[in-house]
């Protein structure tokens, strides 16, 4: 059976495009009384972007802090707050921020029309009711969250996405100007998320011509961006690389690095981008060319990865980490094929972790 996957319905792209957010929200306000819920990264509290939100009476701005990875608890609290403001439901949810904020916005839009806790929907195709119309405005490039159907959340027992057609954004607004001020390390780690999506997609068993076309273009753009200094034009390229990397994995899957990185994030609280980099650096056996190029790019951008994070970790926490990684069957299957369990027993995962 071939996957019949849903994609973002509308894309607005271009420098300065953020000014058109007003028009995009206006289109969905229609004659309805409900306002728009803006879910915004709190790093924007004191910078001009927030001043430019097209706010109307009855709209709400919900600041979110993503120093920690997004959790089901955060999503449930935001959905409760929106309901408490008598936005039942809002005309739209707008997410403005990096991948974590976009994932929170996707999950909140799902939770406004579905009962229970967001933890109930961590998994594949568990969401029943269509979500509230939602718009994604990325301010950081690389995660592919703007185009993916997953909203990755740390839940009470696992780090796993809400993977649903209902979580896909109805509209995204890609304005490269919004990413210009991203600090260097964050820019690099998040960009490497995209690079690693491509490497894992292009070397996976799920690969097909569709994924290859997007993955190869994304990889080419990543190379243009990261083999030179960060300069004019690189923000545009990375934004489009992120979109293409996301499209590539939409029809294939990520692999060993992401599986291990999920465990790292869950137990150590590492952000996705840096978690991927720490894991990827230890995976030359699986991705020899990719890891060599990655190290070269780290060198060019003066990135020194943290080391010894897992070396001396307590056994119980390593058990948890290993359990999380091994629960992600599709990622391993894509990377290693049908008999992946034979090639990746628990002892092997632990050994890989101990190198990090
Ligand atoms: Fe990723």
Task: For residue 144, give the nearest of 78, 88, 80, 211 by alpha carbon.
Answer: 211
Distances from the Cα of 193 to the Cα of 140, 254, 297, 340, angstroms = 11, 11, 13, 23
**CA of 197 relative to ligand 1 center, distance in Å:** 6
Residue 115 and residue 214 in one domain: no
pLDDT at 50 (0 to 100): 72
Residue 163 and residue 216 in one domain: no
**CA of 193 relative to ligand 1 center, distance in Å:** 5
Residue 94 and residue 212 in one domain: no
Q: Which of 159, 179, 199 is the last residue of a domain?
A: 179
**CA of 295 relative to ligand 1 center, distance in Å:** 18
Instruction: Evaluate whether residue 108 is within a structural domain.
Output: yes
**CA of 105 relative to ligand 1 center, distance in Å:** 17
Query: How far is 150 from 167, CA to CA, in rounded Å?
Result: 7
Residues 71 and 103 sit within 8 Å (Cβ to Cβ):
no
pTM for the predicted model, two decimal places: 0.95
Instruction: Evaluate whether residue 238 is within a structural domain.
Output: yes
Question: What string of DSSP letters covers 89-149?
Answer: S-SEEEEEESHHHHHHHHHHHHHTSS-S-GGGG-EES---S----EEEEESS-SS-TTT-S
Question: What string of DSSP letters covers 157-182?
Answer: S-EEEEE-GGGS-SEEEE-GGGGTT-
**CA of 56 relative to ligand 1 center, distance in Å:** 35
pLDDT at 87 (0 to 100): 79
Instruction: Evaluate whether residue 4 is within a structural domain.
Output: no
Q: Which residues of 212-247 are buried (b: 16+ CB within 10 A; e: fewer)?
A: eebbebbbebbbebbeeebeeebbbbbbbbbbbbbb
pLDDT at 344 (0 to 100): 97
**CA of 138 relative to ligand 1 center, distance in Å:** 15
**CA of 118 relative to ligand 1 center, distance in Å:** 20
pLDDT at 231 (0 to 100): 85
Please, where are the H alpha helices in the chain? 21-29, 72-84, 99-111, 184-202, 209-226, 234-250, 256-268, 272-280, 288-300, 315-326, 329-336, 340-343, 346-354
**CA of 200 relative to ligand 1 center, distance in Å:** 10
What CATH number is attached to the domain comprising 310?
A: 1.20.1090.10
Give the HSE-up count for residue 130: Cα atoms under 13 Å, Cβ half-sphere. 7
Query: How far is 291 from 180, CA to CA, in rounded Å?
Result: 27
Residue 188 and residue 175 in one domain: no
Q: Which of 179, 203, 237 is the last residue of a domain?
A: 179
**CA of 72 relative to ligand 1 center, distance in Å:** 18
Place of tokens 């029943």: 128
**CA of 179 relative to ligand 1 center, distance in Å:** 18
93: CB partners within 8 A, 6+ apart: 36, 37, 39, 82, 105, 108, 109, 112, 132, 133, 134, 135
Residue 162 and residue 37 in one domain: yes
Residue 168 and residue 256 in one domain: no
Please give all residues whose CB falls under 5 A of ion ligand 1, grouped by chain where several chains appear: 193
Residue 32 and residue 138 in one domain: yes
φ, ψ of residue 136 to 5 degrees: the values are -110, 130
Instruction: Evaluate whether residue 5 is within a structural domain.
Output: no
3-class SS of residue 32? coil
Segments in the chain below pLDDT 50? none
**CA of 352 relative to ligand 1 center, distance in Å:** 19
Instruction: Evaluate whether residue 2 is within a structural domain.
Output: no
Residue 79 and residue 207 in one domain: no
Give the number of domains in the chain: 2
**CA of 194 relative to ligand 1 center, distance in Å:** 7
220: CB partners within 8 A, 6+ apart: none
Q: Which of 131, 149, 179 is the last residue of a domain?
A: 179
Q: How far apart are the first and last CA of the chain?
A: 38
Residue 264 and residue 120 in one domain: no
Residue 285 and residue 204 in one domain: yes
Instruction: Evaluate whether residue 93 is within a structural domain.
Output: yes
Residue 209 and residue 290 in one domain: yes
Longest alpha-carbon distance in the chain: 60
Burial of 303 (0-12, 13-18, 19+ CB in 10 A): middle
**CA of 313 relative to ligand 1 center, distance in Å:** 24
Question: What angle, rounded to 10 degrees, do the helices at 288-300 and 209-226 form?
Answer: 30
What digits encode the pLDDT tens for the residues 327-346?
999 999 999 999 999 999 99
Residue 24 and residue 147 in one domain: yes
What CATH number is attached to the domain comprising 129?
A: 3.40.50.1970
What digits encode the pLDDT tens for the residues 191-232?
999 999 999 999 999 999 999 999 999 999 999 999 999 988
Residues of the domain holding 44: 10-179
Instruction: Evaluate whether residue 170 is within a structural domain.
Output: yes
Instruction: Evaluate whether residue 40 is within a structural domain.
Output: yes
**CA of 87 relative to ligand 1 center, distance in Å:** 32
């Amino acid at each position: 059976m071939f996957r019949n996957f849903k994609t973002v319905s509308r894309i607005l792209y271009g420098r300065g495009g953020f000014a058109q957010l007003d028009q995009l929200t206006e289109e969905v306000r229609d004659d309805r009384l409900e306002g728009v819920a803006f879910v915004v990264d709190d790093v924007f509290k004191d910078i001009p972007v927030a001043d430019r939100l097209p706010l109307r009476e009855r709209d709400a701005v919900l600041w979110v802090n993503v120093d920690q990875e997004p959790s089901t608890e955060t999503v449930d609290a935001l959905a409760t707050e929106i309901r408490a403001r008598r936005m039942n439901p809002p005309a739209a949810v707008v997410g403005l921020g990096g991948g974590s904020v976009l994932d929170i916005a996707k999950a909140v839009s799902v939770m406004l029309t579905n009962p229970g806790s967001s933890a109930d929907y961590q998994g594949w195709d568990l969401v029943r009711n269509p979500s509230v119309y939602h718009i994604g405005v990325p301010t950081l490039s690389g995660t592919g969250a703007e185009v993916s159907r997953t909203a990755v959340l740390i839940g009470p027992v696992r780090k796993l996405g809400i993977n649903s057609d209902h979580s896909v954004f109805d509209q995204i607004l890609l304005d490269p100007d919004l990413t210009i001020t991203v600090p260097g390390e964050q820019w690099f780690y998040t960009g490497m998320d995209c690079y690693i999506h491509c490497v894992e997609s292009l070397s996976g068993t799920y690969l097909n011509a569709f994924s290859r076309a997007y993955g190869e273009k994304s990889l080419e753009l990543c190379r243009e961006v990261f083999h030179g200094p960060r300069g004019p034009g690189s923000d545009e390229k990375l934004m489009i690389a992120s979109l293409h990397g996301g499209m590539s994995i939409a029809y294939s899957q990520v692999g060993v690095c992401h599986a291990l990185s999920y465990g790292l994030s869950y137990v150590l609280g590492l952000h996705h981008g840096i978690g991927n980099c720490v894991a990827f650096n230890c995976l030359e056996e699986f991705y020899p060319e990719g890891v060599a190029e990655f190290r070269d790019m780290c060198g060019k951008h003066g990135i020194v990865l943290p080391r010894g994070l897992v070396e001396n970790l307590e056994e119980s926490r390593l058990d948890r980490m290993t359990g999380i990684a091994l629960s992600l069957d599709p990622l391993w299957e894509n990377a290693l094929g049908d008999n992946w369990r034979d090639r990746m027993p628990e002892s092997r995962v632990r050994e890989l972790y101990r190198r990090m």
